[in-house]
Amino acid sequence: MQSIVLKDKSFVPYITAETISEQVKVIAQKINSDLVNETPLFLVVLNGSFMFAADLLKEVTIPCEISFIKLASYYGTTSSGVVTEMIGLTEDVKGRTVVIIEDIVDTGVTLEKLVTLLTKKEVKQVKVASFLLKPDAYKKNIIVDYVGIKIPNDFVVGYGLDYDGLGRNMKEIFVLNTK
């Protein structure tokens, strides 16, 4: 694996495609056994999760549905200021087991917003699968049920993750070169 340059920054190899693939299979096996009696709805959080979701869901063997969502923030007219909305969800999620698929959980702000929005829709339960987790940055109490790899508080790209829109297509994960 060679270092890469994206715009003004260079990134060094960090997690190989083989390690990623092994961890994805471990998560899928856990989901297959934990949710064997459910027909979950997987909610893929775009853009970053597309690659993890594609790999993971090929290994999921239980009956399931898959939908793709985005979080959009805008200034609302209420006193609360910024409003976050989930766009793309057309399924009725009431009473259902929903599995959020995330590329990375960093501070957990995004995840908390999503879980709040889903809870309002009266889901039966929310499970969370995130390929990466930064435990030192994570500030929320929501349990991330399925984690591929825990990483330090470093900026990474590849496997769906971007730096300023670039790097999502790499099949390996690279970390910012700070040297």
Q: Distances from the Cα of 158 to the Cαs of 85, 114, 138, 170, in angstroms?
A: 26, 23, 21, 5
Q: How far is the CB of 152 from ligand IMP (least distance, A)?
A: 10
Per-residue tokens: 91:
């399924």
Q: Which two tokens stand for residue 167?
A: 């790097």
48 near ligand IMP (CB under 6 A) = yes
Question: 79: Cβ–Cβ under 8 A, 6 or more apart, which residues?
Answer: none
- By rule CB under 6 A, what count of residues binds ligand IMP? 13
- Residue 114 makes contact with ligand IMP by CB under 6 A: no
93 binds ligand IMP (CB under 6 A): no
For residues 131 and 119, what is the distance between their CA atoms, to the nearest angstrom? Answer: 22
Told to check if 100 binds ligand IMP by CB under 6 A, we report: no
Give one DSSP letter per residue of 16-61, joined into a string: -HHHHHHHHHHHHHHHHHHTTT---EEEEETTTTHHHHHHHHHH--
Shortest Å distance, C-beta 28 to ligand IMP: 21
Output the smallest distance, CB 148 to ligand IMP, in A. Answer: 14
| Pattern 141-160, ligand IMP, x by CB under 6 A | --------------xxx---
In whole angstroms, the minimum distance from the beta carbon of 177 to ligand IMP comes to: 13
Q: Which amino acid is at 63?
A: P
Among 5, 83, 87, 109, interactor with ligand IMP by CB under 6 A: 109
Of 127, 98, 124, residue with least CA distance to 40: 98
Binding-site member from 107, 116, 169, 177 for ligand IMP (CB under 6 A): 107
How far is residue 68 from each of residues 88, 119, 145, measured CA to CA in Å?
6, 18, 20
55 binds ligand IMP (CB under 6 A): no
161 binds ligand IMP (CB under 6 A): yes
Query: Active-site positions?
Result: 106
Q: Is 106 in the site for ligand IMP (CB under 6 A)?
A: yes
Q: Which residues sit at the interface with ligand IMP, rule CB under 6 A?
A: 48, 104-111, 155-157, 161
